[in-house]
Structure 1
Amino acid sequence: MTEPSVEQPAIVLVSEERGEFLRDEFGRYARDYDVRVAASVAEAEEIAGRVRQEGRQVALFVTESRVADGPIMPALHRLRVAVPTARRLVAAHWDHFLEDAESMRPGMVTGKYDAYLLMPRGARDEEFHTAVCELLSDWGSTVARPEVVTAEVVSEPGNPLAGAIREFLERMGMPTAAYTPESEVGRAAVEEWREVQGGEPSFPLLRTIRVGLVAPGSVREVAAAIYGRPDSIDPEGANTVVDLCIVGAGPAGLAAAVYGASEGLSTVAIEAEAIGGQAGTSSMIRNYLGFPRGVSGMRLAQRARNQALRFGTRFFTGWSVEGLTPGADGAPHVVHTEGGDVHARAVVLATGVSYRKLGVEPLEALVGRGVHYGSAMSVAREMEGGDVVVVGGGNSAGQAALHLARFARSVTIVVRREGLEATMSAYLVKEISYHHRVQVRPCTEVVGGGGADRLEWLRLRDSRDGSEDEVPATGLFLLLGAEPHCGWLPDAVVRDEHGFVLTGRDVPTDAWTDGVPPPDLCTTVPGVFAVGDVRSGSMKRVAAATGEGASVVPLVHAHLS
């Protein structure tokens, strides 16, 4: 047996009687992983300890549903405590797969393990190995440092713009590595800049295959360099008209793009940030139809984007829409961006919502240096061993807390309500309640905090008695609820008192035609539709947004006809 490389992660197989059988089944992974066999959970803990002492990681634990150490649930908990970042798969022997399934189910609901599968019964059990590969892929994209990177960012530690660029690129499915200017990669980049550009570079520096070495001043510059500008649709200024312009590329906008383009509409999608919207920042969405082991928001968004591209959708990323001029008497609508205008016969508003600001000035000054709006997946690894606070009571906050708990020493969810049950899905509430690293502080708000160069502490206030206390914190993740981004819309598109777009029967009666309200997803402007979270009365769930994005396309066809 060859010695594992310094970087080779381990797969630990736990079985008292079938260890060699499992080793044979996992032989296909031996080139890239150090496959180990343990007769008990105690031995698996010892192996994991040695692997980590060698500076390597454990990617996956595979156990039978019955182990030598006693009941399986406490054993799985021990493995989670031993290596919180590792994925845990239970491969039950076929003799007692059905018998154990019922007792195993509560453990999956509370997050004690990631998958329950029937042990392979023959060669090439690709259903089993598809699940294994999904778990390893999820681990590789969220825990392991990327083996092959498509972008390199060189900057001083704590540079907010560098962090924002990394977050954008990783959400766009581009594995990114960060280097200091003093590192070998950093020194080479600085020297190349001096030779080619002359003078000293400003940081961050970015290198990608498509744009080479650049010193971007904003995330938008990166997006434009890689994905183009909206005015590239119409470089000659000939007012080229597309059938459908979608503003926003979250789940609703992506679904509209897929169904619109697949049904023959010339389709353009404009997204201010990264593809996927807020859902794209979710570390793991477990209740989306068809993904029994869950799917990260980034992966779901990239699959949908690739699907839409296949049908001909054109995406322009990093451009905020600044205005909409409705077309009169059948003329096309005009969507205005800093990167140019798009003329379209129909417009779908799918801009979703943005997180509200905390409003605590000392903490606003530390955004990008320990303080983050959203789940900031790219910096989760940097929280290892620290104390993290997540503010928010929605599903995104719950998913962020559970992901951060893989790395941080402790995660505290701060909510103003008396608990999570009113605003978070039950499966997340259960998983959080059973997690040894996550606690919830109800009736609490963040009122202060600070640090020298980055976040070091927070001040929390209990609204029940007004008491305050200071807690150490290396990370603050703010997921503060929904505000629609609709200030750019003309008054002709009517909104409710909170700024969400009114559609269908919610449209004021004086805007109805012959006493009949517009169809459900139609706004007060003919040919302008609203779907997903930006729409007044929407469910604020990924599946609901996707359904609306698909459902709007027949209405677009009806308008165009």
Structure 2
Amino acid sequence: MTSAGPERLVAETPDTIGAYPRLTPAQLETLSRVGTTVPVSGDEVLVRAGESPVSFFVVLEGRLAVYEGEHVEIHGPGRFVGDIGLLEGQPTFTTIAAVERGMALEVPIEELEAIVTGDPLLGDVILRAYLIRRSMAIGFGAGLRVIGSPFSPETRQLLDFAARNRIPHRLLDVERDPGAESILRRMGLGVSDVPVVIVAGSRILRNPSVVEVARALGMRSTRPPTTSDVLVVGAGPAGLAATVYAASDGLSVVLADAVATGGQAALSARIENYLGFPSGISGAELAERATLQVSKFGATLFAPSTAQSLAAAAEGSLVVGFSDGTSASPRTVVIACGMTYNRLDVANLDRFEYTSVYHAATINEARECGGEPVVVVGGGNSAGQAAVFLGGTASHVHLVVRGADLSASMSRYLTVQVENHSRISVHLQTVLVDANGDGHLESVIVEHMPSGERREIATSHLFVFVGATPSTSWLGPDFERDDRGYLITGGRTTPAGSTRRSLETSMPGVFAVGDARSGSVKRISAAIGEGASVVRMVHDHLATGGSRG
């Protein structure tokens, strides 16, 4: 590594938002019981980008520098280095080196994990700092480099994967960025290799699948265990809750998801009505914290991995097939696959679906939009949260709502925020009817339904939140559904005269929780409650050998 040199790195990076706290003497004492004090020399490299760190470092004397491309942070005594990837087994995107001779406290990762999940005070200081650092890294585009065209579905799929998994990344646009073409030429890569993903500045993946990227980041094992007490399909709030409670009860649990943990909740910039968080919590933070609990209790996370089939085999056993050709035979299955966002049926809009249409509003999308005006379509809480969040960065937000009154489908607290926001214009009783652009979206046409008046709104970024449908199409005809495709659970007598458990589907040993279940309450807290409740029913099923009471 080429050091920037002590003469250039003088000022310590300030801590203004809790990303770089200084540990107290008592907290340092706690860490010293499980760590080792080690000397460091000037310019000594402790961790290189691309490596999977095995230790957590706290500065005792001197200073450590954290390098990520051109971005450099300096940390003095009492500070610690790293980010959330350290706890999730991911290769680091940064290089950590000493600026000068000093001393550091080295703590093994397994000891750090025990502290983060077991010490409510010190653990929260470290976890909170790591979550903030990850958010900052996403904001300034650290981490992965994706070289490709934003008009390419393959590139957009990789960007969506990185965003959903909260992986810092940046797009180098071959359509607009001359530097992207230069990098491709320098690496000897051609059109057939695009999109290209660069991991930790050195590992090059040519036109990779999301699974290949996940493996390069240490996020996905080759295959899940073939047998387990419980297989949970879907890692949204309901699936995460089922996994955590089942694993904490001592059951062997595999959690599978097609994309990432957190589900649609992880795409919420701020959840303000979740019990116990009066100042709100981001969906990403809620997902990260729950994912750490999954690991803490020994469950196996298998993502990205798409379940494609579920069938009953001989003697009541179950077989779940995945898109990569693997299969699993769990004793029970919990379906928590949630919902899929609906698309708008609007003239010409399909041309821009992979380039200019978004179904989430997080820091990643806000960075892509910059200060340009945006249009948000929808009248529910997701649309309201997106409008308020984007209003912080976009020059203007146009909220297009079919209904005549925001409060009819949006929580009161959000309605107030939307109506009082100086950068948000609400277009009631209005629908999107057309989209215009050459290669990328340039404007949309909206129509005021009572008058028939049409208006053109200039924008390159359209956010769509117009409801969702249950993600149950992969399940076969053996599953009872209501007229909208939601899985029917409980409340019925089987042909043998037994009664289904309240969260059990028409297939014995298969349960459904969260948004995909008919009659469920579409709230995060309700989904988590169902995920916790289903574990008791799983225990009963296993204890009775599969018979229903």
- TM (norm. structure 2) is 0.71
Query: Any idea what the Cα deviations from partners look like across 1:74-119, whole Å, max 9, x if unmatched?
Result: xxxxxxxxxxxxxxxxxxxxxxxxxxxxxxxxxxxxxxxxxxxxxx
C-alpha displacement of 1:180: 3.9
Which residue of 440, 460, 467 corresponds with 1:474? 460
Query: Against the structure 1 CA distance between its residues 415 and 4, is the aligned structure 2 distance closer, same or farther, given a 3 Å change threshold?
Result: farther
Q: Which residue of structure 1 lines up, in the alignment, with residue 198 of structure 2?
A: 207
Residue 367 (structure 1) aligned with residue 353 (structure 2): yes
C-alpha displacement of 1:271: 0.9
Q: Which residue of structure 1 lines up, in the alignment, with residue 343 of structure 2?
A: 357
Cα distance in 1, alignment partners of residues 415 and 273 from structure 2: 13
Q: Which residue of structure 1 lines up, in the alignment, with residue 58 of structure 2?
A: none
Query: Any idea what the Cα deviations from partners look like across 1:210-242, whole Å, max 9, x if unmatched?
Result: 9921123543543455467787236xxxxx321
Q: Is the contact between residue 324 and residue 336 of structure 1 (CA under 8 Å) also seen in structure 2?
A: no
Q: Is the contact between residue 227 and residue 317 of structure 1 (CA under 8 Å) also seen in structure 2?
A: no
Cα distance in 2, alignment partners of residues 7 and 456 from structure 1: 44
Cα distance in 1, alignment partners of residues 481 and 186 from structure 2: 52
Residue 255 (structure 1) aligned with residue 241 (structure 2): yes
Query: Against the structure 1 CA distance between its residues 7 and 385, is the aligned structure 2 distance closer, same or farther, given a 3 Å change threshold?
Result: farther
C-alpha displacement of 1:349: 0.5
For residue 242 of structure 1, give the secondary structure of its aligned residue in structure 2.
Answer: coil
Q: Which residue of structure 2 lines up, in the alignment, with residue 170 of structure 1?
A: 163
Cα distance in 2, alignment partners of residues 143 and 556 from structure 1: 39
Which residue of 518, 523, 541 corresponds with 1:541? 523
Query: Against the structure 1 CA distance between its residues 327 and 289, is the aligned structure 2 distance closer, same or farther, given a 3 Å change threshold?
Result: farther
Which residue of 166, 188, 210 corresponds with 1:219? 210
C-alpha displacement of 1:315: 1.8
C-alpha displacement of 1:270: 1.4
Q: Is the contact between residue 139 and residue 363 of structure 2 (CA under 8 Å) also seen in structure 1?
A: no
Cα distance in 2, alignment partners of residues 7 and 454 from structure 1: 43
Query: Any idea what the Cα deviations from partners look like across 1:113-170, whole Å, max 9, x if unmatched?
Result: xxxxxxxxxxxxx99x979x77993995498414xx3322122455443343233213
C-alpha displacement of 1:476: 0.5
Q: Which residue of structure 2 lines up, in the alignment, with residue 71 of structure 1?
A: none
Number of aligned residues? 438
Cα distance in 2, alignment partners of residues 171 and 334 from structure 1: 24
Cα distance in 2, alignment partners of residues 436 and 360 from structure 1: 29
Q: Is the contact between residue 340 and residue 468 of structure 2 (CA under 8 Å) also seen in structure 1?
A: yes
Query: Any idea what the Cα deviations from partners look like across 1:446-489, whole Å, max 9, x if unmatched?
Result: 11112112111101122223332211122101111020111121
For residue 466 of structure 2, give the secondary structure of its aligned residue in structure 1.
Answer: coil
- 1:448-467 → structure 2 map (5 Å cutoff): 448-467=434-453
Q: Is the contact between residue 211 and residue 225 of structure 1 (CA under 8 Å) also seen in structure 2?
A: no
Cα distance in 1, alignment partners of residues 464 and 372 from structure 2: 17
C-alpha displacement of 1:428: 1.0
Q: Which residue of structure 2 lines up, in the alignment, with residue 40 of structure 1?
A: none
Query: Any idea what the Cα deviations from partners look like across 1:365-390, whole Å, max 9, x if unmatched?
Result: 11232222333641212323322111
Q: Is the contact between residue 265 and residue 283 of structure 2 (CA under 8 Å) also seen in structure 1?
A: yes
Amino acid at match of 2:364: S
Residue 493 (structure 1) aligned with residue 479 (structure 2): yes
Query: Against the structure 1 CA distance between its residues 524 and 465, is the aligned structure 2 distance closer, same or farther, given a 3 Å change threshold?
Result: same
Q: Is the contact between residue 333 and residue 346 of structure 1 (CA under 8 Å) also seen in structure 2?
A: no
- 1:487-526 → structure 2 map (5 Å cutoff): 487-505=473-491, 507=492, 509=493, 511=494, 514=497, 517-526=499-508
Q: Is the contact between residue 172 and residue 302 of structure 1 (CA under 8 Å) also seen in structure 2?
A: no
For residue 368 of structure 1, give the secondary structure of its aligned residue in structure 2.
Answer: coil
C-alpha displacement of 1:209: 4.5
In the alignment, structure 1 segments of 5+ residues that lack a partner are 13-24, 30-125, 235-239
Cα distance in 2, alignment partners of residues 172 and 245 from structure 1: 21
Which residue of 232, 235, 239 corresponds with 2:223? 232
Query: Any idea what the Cα deviations from partners look like across 1:325-351, whole Å, max 9, x if unmatched?
Result: 124433234344334111111000101
Q: Is the contact between residue 231 and residue 339 of structure 1 (CA under 8 Å) also seen in structure 2?
A: no
Query: Against the structure 1 CA distance between its residues 176 and 422, is the aligned structure 2 distance closer, same or farther, given a 3 Å change threshold?
Result: same
C-alpha displacement of 1:404: 0.9
Residue 190 (structure 1) aligned with residue 176 (structure 2): no
Q: Which residue of structure 2 lines up, in the alignment, with residue 42 of structure 1?
A: none
Cα distance in 2, alignment partners of residues 224 and 398 from structure 1: 36
Query: Against the structure 1 CA distance between its residues 442 and 219, is the aligned structure 2 distance closer, same or farther, given a 3 Å change threshold?
Result: farther
Which residue of 121, 132, 136 corresponds with 1:137? 132
Cα distance in 1, alignment partners of residues 425 and 173 from structure 2: 35
Residue 334 (structure 1) aligned with residue 320 (structure 2): yes
Cα distance in 1, alignment partners of residues 293 and 21 from structure 2: 30
For residue 298 of structure 1, give the secondary structure of its aligned residue in structure 2.
Answer: helix
Cα distance in 2, alignment partners of residues 468 and 200 from structure 1: 42
Q: Which residue of structure 1 lines up, in the alignment, with residue 296 of structure 2?
A: 310
Q: Is the contact between residue 131 and residue 285 of structure 2 (CA under 8 Å) also seen in structure 1?
A: no
Moved more, 395-404 or 342-351: 395-404
Query: Any idea what the Cα deviations from partners look like across 1:493-542, whole Å, max 9, x if unmatched?
Result: 1110000001122x4x5x3763x642221111110000000001111111
Q: In proportion to residue count, which structure has more helix?
A: 1
Amino acid at match of 1:301: A
